[in-house]
């Protein structure tokens, strides 16, 4: 029973991490939006970029929604503590996505109230802020947040709130932590790198191809600077470990490096992932006719992020540490749903491969016809 | 000094959730209803190969697309507001409530998101059959999504399939099928989706009538009206059936809501169903002796029939539910609100004792007390019995507006279907104008239905288990006020933009006549 419960908790942490990793990959849509006025020099080029990413934005959006739903279902204490506490951080993320959802549809329509330019600026804002803010939010998995969880509080009828946030910034304070910002910038530039690779793959236009290829090394360099800065610090920092016997949370030097070593799957995923990202970028830069970089870099990004997130929650680690009350830190054990719920949802998760299969089929079918100026004119 | 929750925070958190839900439900019904209509039209194109049906389907798809995006956006906000504004709720019942949301994501969201891309971008790029399948799968995705979120909502109205765990201090699911196939959920799903179909049908008929009035795209308009009116008529008839089921379930599970829906203060045998009525604004308390109505027209015995399937059955009123003492169907005497509150406080104290207990025997004793009184757990957070009465005026008028509009739309769809099949609709310009106004009425009816469901449930976030005051996130009230106004401004601007774009697209029309 205990072993099954632990297995299910690990399985659901894996699924949530996988969704998070897929979300980072699919944020190439945001990256593309952030490059709208950089790569898209003319109206025709901007229209092609929007037509190209416009066929995919729903998938990114849906992955975010499912990520939220899966987190709620499998680790409800995180959902209640983080969303109810880091209120402003999550609200800003949501506002960014609201702007995106309407802008694709409305920007090219007549009588759209705010004008085409405004909606495109909304897309630009979403393109920059969404990856940044999501990166900052994920950064708190390693740097911690100021909250207290006290379940006994439910018996206090005048103030029965279990989770309380101890910083008046209600999430905004996370944006003042350099390492969180560093991860946010890494995610932003990764999304831009992936977007360039996606444009190279998806758009049949010489100008867009040339500009994307020209831009790629610079964006890749910025990504590597911020990612490596975060990554080296991540390997060396003290981590939030859990004593498996007493369940006590304590600071352990080099915890995440230890996790990488003790979770071979994560280490392998990380190494393969980094190679995939670098290969996707390097081959695109050096082979002028090669257009498949997005698949290597995309798969690499998924594996890398998955490895980082697995190290955040597996191997007796507190994935959402509290700097206000260390013992309030959330672990996959103390924040998960019941064994019954995890097991029930595990049956539902059997459908995930089918979902991935039809997404891949539809993606392939639609992308068989590359985007051209004619599409943009439609 | 004990810190307390600011009542303004509860009000603003409720207001923010209501605002988002109201906007969300402006767009979703049209997605549900219009999706079916456009899929039927594309099916006609697939079967006949007639370009007319392709152009007709594409026109409605364009409108669908304009409406769809903002529905998705407001839906995302709603999902995250559960955690952001109702964190205690999210913990207390997340073990049950989260599962339908996650399954909704896996089963429905991806289906919708994947195939909608084919529906919009796939014309000429994929086969006709694959495109048609994608259109139907988009509609199926939206409808399955509705099912799971309504399972979650129904569970809040009538919690089943769970058990309270004092060790984790939350409710935990013990039967997935009880939750997923709860009769309240099934009925609620059909009733809500049918109301979406009615909105979609009213929209199609109303817009098509506008073309008739303008003497443009007549063939397109008459064809759309035929499909829309029949679709609307079927939806209205089924909606009456599910509405009856819904009211019966409310009577069984949420008698206070039913009493508020009917403005019934004093229970009686053979209670009448109010057809039309005006509440007495001077009535301030349930027991102030003032008459509840200035004017009413009621059908004798019909409320009893609706509630208990017997025209002479007893239906308790608000006063009875607060004061207790009446004999219930199972022969027991109903507890008063005060007694329930005392038992609820006993349950909460027992939970505290359980967690503080140092010996097994003390823990078992505390658990026994908790278990015995858990049914009233939520009442322990209530401070005043009158807090258990939902806003009667809003609930009463919303219910009757919904029913009256529903009845009117049934007649309207029947008349329009009959006249259009007899080819006698085109000259009836007054009726065409009524059909345009009916779009607005259908939307109002849908909103009113949700007001009945949600306002009528107050003060509960989860019926009898957790009041909104205990479901809250501890946030500065000013933060919630600020986000409320940000969302209000944003949603309103986007709604105006949507309407302008939609009107512009409608004015442009399907351009079938020009093509011919």
Task: Find chain B residues with C-beta within 8 A of A82's C-beta.
Answer: 83
Strand, coil or helix: what is B285?
A: coil
What integer is the mean pLDDT of A67-81? 94
Q: Search chain A and give the residue with CA nearest B133.
A: A362
Of B84, B170, B352, Cβ closest to residue A90: B84
Strand, coil or helix: what is B273?
A: strand
Query: Got the DSSP string for B110-171?
Result: HHHHHHHHHHHH-TTTS-HHHHHHHHHHHHHHHHHHHHHHHHHHHHHHS--SEEEETTTTEE
- Could you list the mean pLDDT of each consecutive 10-residue stretch along chain B, which spans 516 residues? 76 97 96 96 96 96 93 90 95 90 87 92 93 96 94 95 96 96 96 98 98 95 96 98 97 97 96 96 93 96 96 97 94 96 97 96 96 97 96 98 98 97 93 98 98 97 96 96 97 96 95 73
What is the structure's pLDDT at B103?
Answer: 87
ipTM of the complex in this document: 0.94
Contact A80 B98 (CB under 8 A): no
pLDDT digits (tens, 9 = 90+) for A25-57: 999 999 999 999 999 999 999 999 999 999 999
Paired strand residues for B175:
none
CB pairs under 8 A between A and B: 290
Task: Find chain B residues with C-beta within 8 A of A76's C-beta.
Answer: 90-91, 94-95, 98, 170
Of B103, B109, B380, Cβ closest to residue A62: B109
Kindly tell me the burial class for residue B444, based on how many C-beta atoms sit within 10 Å of its own C-beta (0-12, 13-18, 19 or more): middle
Of B65, B483, B486, Cβ closest to residue A105: B65
Tell me the nearest-neighbour CA distance from B155 into chain A, angstroms: 15
Contact B121 A55 (CB under 8 A): yes
Task: Find chain B residues with C-beta within 8 A of A358's C-beta.
Answer: 111, 114
- 10 Å Cβ neighbour count for B283? 18
Contact B91 A61 (CB under 8 A): no
Task: Find chain A residues with C-beta within 8 A of B117's C-beta.
Answer: 55-56, 58-59, 362, 366
Give the CA dihedral B350, B356, B362, B366, nearest 10 degrees: 10
Residue from A324, A338, A360, A371 whose CB has the most chain B CBs within 10 Å, to mutate: A338
Nearest to A200 by CA among A287, A313, A74: A287
Read off the tokens for B43.
């099916």
Read off the tokens for B401.
């507006």
Tell me the nearest-neighbour CA distance from A373 into chain B, angstroms: 15
Write the DSSP symbol of residue B289.
-
- A255-262 helix and A264-286 helix, angle to the nearest 10 degrees: 90
- A2-26 helix and A293-313 helix, angle to the nearest 10 degrees: 140
Tell me the nearest-neighbour CA distance from B80 into chain A, angstroms: 7
What is the structure's pLDDT at B516?
Answer: 61
Q: How far apart are CA A177 and CA B413, in angstroms?
A: 61
pLDDT digits (tens, 9 = 90+) for A315-372: 999 999 999 999 999 999 999 999 999 999 999 999 899 999 999 999 999 888 899 8
Provide the residue ranges of all domains of chain A, joining segments of one domain with +. 2-240+321-377
Of A69, A85, A160, Cβ closest to residue B79: A69
Task: Find chain A residues with C-beta within 8 A of B115's C-beta.
Answer: 362
Tell me the nearest-neighbour CA distance from A4 into chain B, angstroms: 17
Cis peptide before B459 (omega within 30 of 0): yes
At a CB cut-off of 8 Å and minimum separation 6, what does A194 contact? A25, A27, A28, A31, A294, A297, A298, A301
What is the structure's pLDDT at B13?
Answer: 97
* Whole-number average pLDDT of chain A: 95
Residue from A16, A73, A88, A153 whose CB has the most chain B CBs within 10 Å, to mutate: A73
Nearest to A85 by CA among A177, A180, A164: A164
Contact B94 A168 (CB under 8 A): no
Nearest to A328 by CA among A109, A194, A145, A169: A145
Task: Find chain A residues with C-beta within 8 A of B88's C-beta.
Answer: 80, 84, 154, 160-163
Give the CA dihedral B408, B411, B412, B413, nearest 10 degrees: 120
Query: Got the DSSP string for A65-134?
Result: HHHHHHHHHH-HHHIIIIIHHSHHHHHHHHHHHHHHHHHHHHTTSTT-SS-HHHHHHHHHHHHHHHHHHH
Tell me the nearest-neighbour CA distance from A108 into chain B, angstroms: 10
Task: Find chain A residues with C-beta within 8 A of B130's C-beta.
Answer: 365
Tell me the nearest-neighbour CA distance from B131 into chain A, angstroms: 11
Task: Find chain A residues with C-beta within 8 A of B72's C-beta.
Answer: 58, 61, 101
Of A56, A76, A170, Cβ closest to residue B91: A76
Task: Find chain B residues with C-beta within 8 A of A86's C-beta.
Answer: none
Q: Are strands A318-320 and A249-252 parallel, antiparallel or unpaired?
A: unpaired
Q: Are B436 and B206 in contact (CB under 8 A)?
A: yes
What is the structure's pLDDT at B225?
Answer: 97
Say what percent of chain A tops pLDDT 90. 92
Tell me the nearest-neighbour CA distance from B12 into chain A, angstroms: 14
Contact B86 A62 (CB under 8 A): no
Of A104, A159, A162, Cβ closest to residue B4: A159
pLDDT over threshold 70, residue A377: no
Kindly tell me the burial class for residue B296, based on how many C-beta atoms sit within 10 Å of its own C-beta (0-12, 13-18, 19 or more): middle
């Amino acid at each position: 029973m205990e072993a099954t419960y632990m297995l299910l908790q690990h399985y659901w942490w894996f699924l949530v991490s996988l969704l998070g990793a897929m979300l980072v990959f699919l944020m190439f849509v945001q990256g593309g939006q952030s490059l709208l006025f950089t790569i898209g020099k003319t109206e025709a080029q901007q229209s092609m970029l929007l037509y190209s990413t416009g066929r995919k934005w729903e998938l990114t959006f849906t992955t975010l929604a499912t990520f939220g739903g899966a987190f709620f279902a499998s680790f409800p204490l995180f959902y209640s503590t983080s969303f109810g506490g880091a209120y402003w951080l999550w609200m800003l993320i949501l506002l960014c996505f609201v702007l995106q959802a309407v802008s694709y549809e409305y920007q090219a329509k007549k009588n759209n109230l705010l004008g085409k330019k405004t909606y495109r600026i909304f897309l630009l804002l979403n393109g920059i802020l969404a990856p940044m803010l999501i990166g900052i939010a994920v950064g708190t998995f390693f740097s911690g947040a100021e909250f207290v969880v006290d379940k006994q509080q439910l018996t206090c009828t005048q103030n029965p709130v279990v989770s309380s946030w101890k910083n008046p910034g209600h999430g905004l304070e996370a944006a003042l932590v350099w390492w969180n910002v560093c991860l946010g910038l890494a995610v932003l530039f990764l999304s831009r790198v992936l977007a360039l690779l996606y444009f190279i793959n998806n758009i049949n236009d010489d100008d867009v191809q040339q500009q994307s290829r020209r831009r790629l090394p610079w964006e890749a360099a910025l990504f590597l600077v911020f990612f490596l800065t975060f990554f080296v610090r991540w390997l060396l920092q003290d981590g939030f470990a859990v004593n498996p016997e007493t369940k006590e949370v304590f600071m352990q030097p080099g915890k995440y490096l230890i996790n990488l070593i003790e979770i071979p799957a994560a280490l392998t995923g990380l190494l393969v992932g980094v190679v995939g990202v670098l290969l996707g970028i390097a081959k695109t830069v050096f082979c002028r006719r090669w257009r498949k970089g997005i698949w290597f870099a995309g798969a690499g990004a998924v594996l890398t992020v998955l490895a980082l997130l697995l190290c955040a929650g597996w191997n007796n680690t507190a994935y959402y540490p509290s700097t206000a009350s260390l013992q309030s830190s959330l672990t996959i054990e103390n924040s998960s749903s019941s064994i019954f719920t995890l097991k029930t949802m595990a049956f539902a998760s059997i459908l995930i491969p089918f979902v991935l299969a039809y997404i891949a089929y539809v993606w392939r079918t639609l992308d068989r016809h590359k985007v051209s100026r004619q599409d943009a004119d439609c | 000094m004990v810190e307390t929750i600011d009542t303004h925070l509860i009000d603003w958190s409720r207001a923010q959730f209501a605002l988002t839900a109201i906007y969300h439900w402006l767009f979703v019904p049209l997605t549900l209803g219009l999706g079916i209509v456009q899929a039927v039209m594309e099916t006609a194109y697939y079967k006949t190969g007639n370009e007319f049906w392709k152009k007709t389907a594409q026109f409605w798809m364009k409108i669908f697309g304009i409406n769809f995006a903002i529905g998705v956006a407001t839906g995302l906000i709603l999902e995250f507001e559960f955690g952001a504004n109702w964190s205690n709720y999210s913990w207390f019942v997340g073990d049950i409530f989260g599962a339908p949301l996650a399954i909704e994501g896996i089963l429905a969201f991806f289906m919708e998101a994947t195939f909608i891309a084919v529906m919009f971008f796939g014309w000429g790029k994929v086969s006709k059959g694959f495109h048609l399948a994608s259109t139907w799968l988009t509609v199926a995705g939206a409808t399955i999504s509705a099912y799971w979120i309504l399972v979650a909502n129904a569970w809040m109205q009538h919690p089943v399939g769970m058990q309270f765990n004092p060790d984790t201090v939350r409710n935990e699911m013990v039967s997935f099928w009880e939750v997923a196939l709860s009769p309240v959920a099934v009925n609620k799903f059909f009733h809500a989706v049918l109301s979406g179909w009615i909105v979609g049908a009213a929209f199609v008929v109303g817009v098509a009538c506008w073309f008739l009035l303008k003497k443009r795209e007549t063939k397109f308009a008459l064809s759309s009206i035929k499909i829309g009116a029949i679709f609307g008529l079927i939806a209205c008839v089924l909606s009456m059936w599910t509405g009856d089921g819904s009211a019966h379930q409310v009577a069984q599970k949420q008698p206070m809501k039913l009493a508020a829906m009917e403005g019934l203060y004093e229970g009686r045998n053979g209670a009448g169903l109010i057809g039309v009525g005006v509440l007495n604004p001077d009535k301030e308390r349930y027991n102030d002796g003032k008459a509840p109505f200035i004017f009413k027209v009621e059908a004798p015995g019909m409320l009893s029939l609706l509630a208990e399937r017997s025209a002479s059955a007893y239906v308790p009123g608000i006063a009875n539910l607060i004061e207790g003492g009446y004999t219930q169907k199972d022969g027991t005497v109903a507890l008063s609100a005060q007694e329930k509150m005392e038992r609820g406080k006993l349950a909460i104290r027992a939970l505290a004792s359980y967690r503080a207990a140092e010996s097994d025997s003390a823990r078992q004793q505390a658990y026994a007390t908790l278990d015995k009184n858990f049914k009233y757990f939520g009442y322990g957070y209530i401070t005043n019995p009158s807090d258990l009465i939902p806003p009667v005026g809003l609930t009463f008028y919303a219910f009757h507006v919904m029913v009256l509009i529903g009845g009117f739309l049934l007649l309207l769809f029947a008349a329009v279907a009959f006249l259009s099949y007899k080819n006698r609709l085109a000259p009836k310009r007054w009726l065409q104008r009524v059909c345009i106004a009916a779009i607005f009425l259908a939307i109002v009816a849908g909103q009113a239905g949700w007001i009945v469901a949600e306002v009528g449930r107050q003060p509960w976030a989860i019926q009898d288990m957790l009041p909104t005051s205990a479901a809250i996130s501890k946030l500065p009230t000013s933060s919630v006020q600020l986000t409320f106004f940000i969302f209000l401004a944003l949603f309103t601007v986007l709604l105006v933009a949507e309407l302008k774009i939609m009107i512009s697209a409608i004015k442009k029309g399907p351009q079938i006549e020009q093509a011919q």
